[in-house]
Chains A and B, each alone.
Chain A
Amino acid sequence: MTKNKEIVICDSILGTDDCWCVIPVYNNCVTVQKVAQDCRKYLRNVVVVDDGSTDIDVRSLFHDEDITVLRHDKNLGKGKAILTALKYVKSNNGRYIITIDADGQHYPGDIKKIIPLLSTEGDSVVVGVRRFEESQAPARSRFGNEVANFWMKIETGLSVKDCQSGFRAYPVDYISKIAFSGSRYEFETEILTRSAWAGLDIKMVSVGVKYVGSKERVSHFDLRWDNLRIGLMHARLVGRRLMPFPHKRLTPIKEKIDYAEFLKHPIKGLKKMLKENATPSGLAAAAAMGIFLGVLPILSFHMPVILYFAVRLHLNKAMALGIQNICMPPLIPIACIELGHYMLYGTWITEASLRVVFWQLKDRVFEWLIGSLILAPVAATIAAVVVYFTARRIKRREADNTCQGSKEGTVKEFPARAGSLWKSTLHLSVNRVPGVRMSKKIKTKKRGNSLGIWFFIAFLKVFGLRGAYSLLNLVCFYYALFDKEAISAASEYVRRRFSGCSTFQMRRHIYRLFISQGRQLIDRYASVSGKIKYEVNSDVYDLVENAVGKHEKGAILLTGHVGNWQTSMSLLENLDKKLYIVMRPEDNPALVDFLKISHGSKINIISPEQEMGGAIEIVNALSQGGLVFMMGDRKYDFNTTEAVFLGDKAKFPQGAFRIAAAAGCPIIVWFSNKTSERMYNVRVKGVLNPCYRKGKEKGTQIKEWAQEFASLLEAYTKEHPYQCFLFHNVWGE
């Protein structure tokens, strides 16, 4: 190991002049100097490529330093900057360049980790895989990275974990022999893929990353145009991959593939085939491809074509070949022909005669083609969604069964505090255990793991509210079709609200209900994280003030599982009253997080799990003039009474009514509903003043009050049928 005073060289048989550090820079004057100086501690040769910066004369930053500065007169792109440096380093007999971003996100000290991986044959490409979990990396960056990694797998069959990392090492000789078309951010995608095609050895090493504040860190990534360029680049690379011409290799093949292995060891070969690219996204891609090609009219050539595509794109062959059997005649061809005929002529074919099928074959084939071009992408998308969520569910179950406490099962924390709200918000609670006194355990089924939730947050941040909403369509479609528990939970309400509907119609109503709830969950996250401002039309504030103004005692604010009642609570913070909410914290982690995040400690939680069901706390709160939020359709620990709701006898908790009657305070019934994309209504629907009258049995009076509430709730469901999220059976035992 050579060592001198200035430079710390890692253990490597490469000479100190063999590795050059390259720092492309464009308008990053705040950070580039320090980055270059820190790199100089580890490598003797540092080249900064000024890609037409206008914020500062980059040369002036380094005129006292032993750092070379190359300059483009105008901004040509990161890719061009790297190629410029490559040419310069090659002319100075360098063997490797290590590129590092100028924005300060990388740690130059990690150069020590990269150098030992560089082979002396000069055919290694090393990618620094950033440890995102240690940083506050924006979700947008992570999402883009996941997409890039996916396409890399398709194009090369390699699982590279961070395809967009700018911290890499390239072999100068080999890279100089490859022709690239990209010049900007898409270059970094292209160079990895083409390096893999050329036979270069792609290695990975874990490196740190820091996302500093926006004042220090400057990114010139244009969300629209750079994403478009990257998308087009992937399309070009996939297109090249599909061509039946081999890629030009620059290195000899190290490991020859034994194509006869499958014949020699068929079971082993089959197992290998089943496991290849068998991640949920990989299987989904294979399914989409199999269905897409299966729908197209390529007459008897489906299997060889699908096999070819699966091999070229490194997709799971078993899935691609297996799933295409769904498209076997006659169903899919007939559907395509009918669709094509309708698109062309506006009518359906109703005749199945010799004339229509054979004599007009030319027309039918054309209609089949037209119809398949519409049906193929739709069917492929549906197949991908179904396979993805099914595979993920199976994988999660296997992980739960076999790997306790493994990293796979660990839920990652998102940078924003609102992220933890989102993690637990995406629940559909399924109450499986009948209410029993004093300690009731309710199983909460989480839907959506970290990756799924992360997708929603990423879509919200990149594409806005409508983008996040659009993702719901596929997810809710899946749940409405396949998730038995979710369907069962929603069925009781849907069956009664839309009485007389067929099974198909019921599923459609359930789907719409899930969409509506999903949107309101997204709204809640967006509101708490400050991303979207919502308008709220409300009369609650005034009416509550009028109602409680007359009483020194407080009031019970009674609502149901409708609308976005959680976000509506903030309306009452301006009242000079203490606020309480009756809830089980363990059943509602999302709500607990929400209250902490959005309301600090202003809203006090009273748990009905405690002794006496929290009744003493509730009474004390009311006697001190507090406002107590309660759900009128959730049992808690209290006894229930019957009321007719949507045509059947349902059980409603007595708690609110008996407490109000005992404490002598009013019950203000209020509901919230979404009226448009960014607007909610919060309205008081009634004010009850429960007071026991002599001469009438108490139980009967409680029943009457509960019936008043049930009637108000029913009226709401008639107005807003898809905003009633009663996913527990109030009619059951």
Chain B
Amino acid sequence: MSDDKEKKLQEIREKLKVLLVESLSLEGVDPKKIKDDEVLFNEGLGLDSLDAVEIVVLLQRNFGLNIKDINEGMKILYSLETLSKYIQENADNG
């Protein structure tokens, strides 16, 4: 089971990398070269607050998930890893 979970998580990571690069128009960034635990804001991918808007919308449209408040958002959007796990947990709960 844990192998299945890990496999699903990896699929989510890969899908997210592609979605992020496309939606946020990250030019010159190869999705395959993004680390699994890449930090999203300030360092790492260097996204800004408006990119957060696009990620929130991306979550709604592609995964049917809503981020309700800022504190929750800060934790979820910290890195690709935290985002992926959030999607997986909520997809599992759903």
Residues of A near any B CB (own CB < 8 A): 437-438, 610-620, 623, 637-639, 654-655, 658-659, 662-664, 697-699
Contact = CB atoms under 8 A, between A and B. Distances in A.
Contacts of B66: 620, 623
A22 to B, nearest CB: 67
B74 interface: yes
B25 A616 contact: no
User: Top 6 closest A-B pairs, CB basis?
Assistant: A613-B49, A615-B53, A698-B25, A658-B50, A612-B52, A662-B57
B68 interface: yes
B53 A619 contact: yes
B53 A611 contact: no
Contact of A658 (B54, B60, B69): B54
Contact of B50 (A610, A654, A664, A697): A654
Contacts of A613: 49-50, 52
B49 A638 contact: yes
Q: Which of B25, B53, B67 has the most CB of A within 10 A?
A: B53
B54 A662 contact: yes
B70 interface: yes
A662 B74 contact: no
A663 B73 contact: no
B53 A659 contact: yes
A639 B50 contact: yes
Q: Interface residues of B toward A: which range? A: 10 to 19
Contacts of B52: 612-613, 615-616
A60 B48 CA distance: 81
Nearest to A653: B50
B63 to A, nearest CB: 15
A697 B25 CA distance: 8
B9 interface: no
Contacts of B77: 612
Identify whether the interface residues of B are mostly helix, strand, loop, or mixed.
helix
Contact of A611 (B48, B60, B74): B74
B53 A616 contact: yes
A618 B53 contact: yes
A611 B50 contact: no
Contacts of A664: 57
A616 B69 contact: yes
A697 B50 CA distance: 17
B39 interface: no
B45 interface: no
A658 B68 contact: no
A662 B57 CA distance: 6
A615 B57 contact: no
Nearest to B61: A664
Nearest to B25: A698
Contacts of A623: 60, 66
Contacts of B54: 658, 662
Contacts of B49: 437-438, 612-615, 637-638
Interface string B65-83: 0111110011001000000
A662 B56 CA distance: 9
Contacts of A437: 48-49
Interface of B: 25, 48-50, 52-54, 56-57, 60, 66-70, 73-74, 77
Q: Which of A612, A618, A654 has the most CB of B within 10 A?
A: A612
Identify whether the interface residues of A are mostly helix, strand, loop, or mixed.
helix
A699 B48 CA distance: 14
Nearest to B48: A639
A500 B42 CA distance: 44
B60 A612 contact: no
A585 to B, nearest CB: 16
Contact of A615 (B50, B68, B69): B50
B75 to A, nearest CB: 11
Given A614-B49, A639-B50, A658-B50, 20 more contacts: A437-B49, A438-B49, A611-B70, A612-B49, A612-B74, A613-B50, A614-B70, A615-B50, A615-B56, A616-B52, A616-B53, A616-B69, A616-B73, A618-B53, A623-B66, A659-B50, A662-B54, A662-B57, A663-B53, A663-B57
B39 to A, nearest CB: 14
Contacts of A616: 52-53, 56, 67, 69-70, 73
B57 to A, nearest CB: 5
Nearest to A637: B49
Nearest to B56: A619
B50 A638 contact: yes
B25 to A, nearest CB: 4
5 contacts: A610-B70, A616-B52, A616-B67, A623-B66, A699-B25
A596 B92 CA distance: 43
B19 to A, nearest CB: 13
Contacts of B70: 610-612, 614, 616-617
B8 to A, nearest CB: 26
Contacts of B60: 623
Contacts of A438: 49
A630 to B, nearest CB: 12
A615 B51 CA distance: 9
A563 to B, nearest CB: 28
Contacts of A697: 25
B20 to A, nearest CB: 13
Contacts of B25: 697-699
A616 B57 CA distance: 9
B76 to A, nearest CB: 10
Nearest to A438: B49
B31 to A, nearest CB: 17
Contacts of A655: 50
Contact of B68 (A612, A618, A620, A659): A620
Contacts of A612: 49, 52, 70, 73-74, 77
A615 B48 CA distance: 10
Nearest to A659: B53
A664 B54 CA distance: 11
Contacts of A611: 70, 73-74
Contacts of A663: 53, 57
A690 to B, nearest CB: 12
A641 to B, nearest CB: 11
A629 B50 CA distance: 17
Contacts of B68: 620
Nearest to B68: A620
A654 B54 CA distance: 13
A695 to B, nearest CB: 12
A615 B66 CA distance: 13
A363 B31 CA distance: 93
Contacts of A698: 25
A697 B24 CA distance: 11
Nearest to A638: B50
Q: Which of B48, B49, B52 has the most CB of A within 10 A?
A: B49
Contacts of A654: 50
Contacts of A637: 49
A618 B50 CA distance: 10
Q: Which of A659, A697, A699 has the most CB of B within 10 A?
A: A659
Nearest to B74: A611
Contact of A619 (B48, B57, B74): B57
